[in-house]
Amino acid sequence: MRGLTIVVAGPDPDRLRAALTMACAAAALGGRARVYLHEAAVGLLASDARAPAGLPNLTDLRGIADDSGVELIACQTGLALAGFSAETQRVAAGGLIDLLATLEDDRLVTL
């Protein structure tokens, strides 16, 4: 199965929720799944936005994604602007050049 790489382009928690959910589905089907948080979207790492009734919040959804093998990558510039470190946020640090260079045959989706 082809992999899936999703770029979250802005700080909208609903977009991150959708990205993590799609990535979990791709991973469940046996494909590589990556979510890249671009610039201001990195701030969502500290967000625990309320979820609709009956759904996991972003923290719980990140845990589900991690357990599913989804790779969460944060923009290095976004990490610096937010004052975060990749280690404390439990993400890989990366940039768009590396993301595109390692795309292989992944489908690329931007939210």
Helix axes 13-28, 58-68, angle to 10 degrees: 20
Tell me the average pLDDT across 20-44.
97
- What is the pLDDT at residue 11? 96
Examine the pLDDT at 49 and tell me if it is beyond 80.
no
Residue environment code for 25-63, b if the CB has 16+ CB neighbours within 10 A, otherwise e: ebbeeebbbbbbbbbbbbbbbeeeeebeeeeeebeebbe
- What is the pLDDT at residue 1? 86
Confidence of residue 21 (pLDDT cuts 50, 70, 90): very high
Q: What is the CATH number of the domain that holds 58?
A: 3.40.1260.10
Has this prediction a pTM greater than 0.85? yes
- What residues make up the domain containing 98? 4-110
**How many domains in the chain?**
1
- What is the pLDDT at residue 50? 77
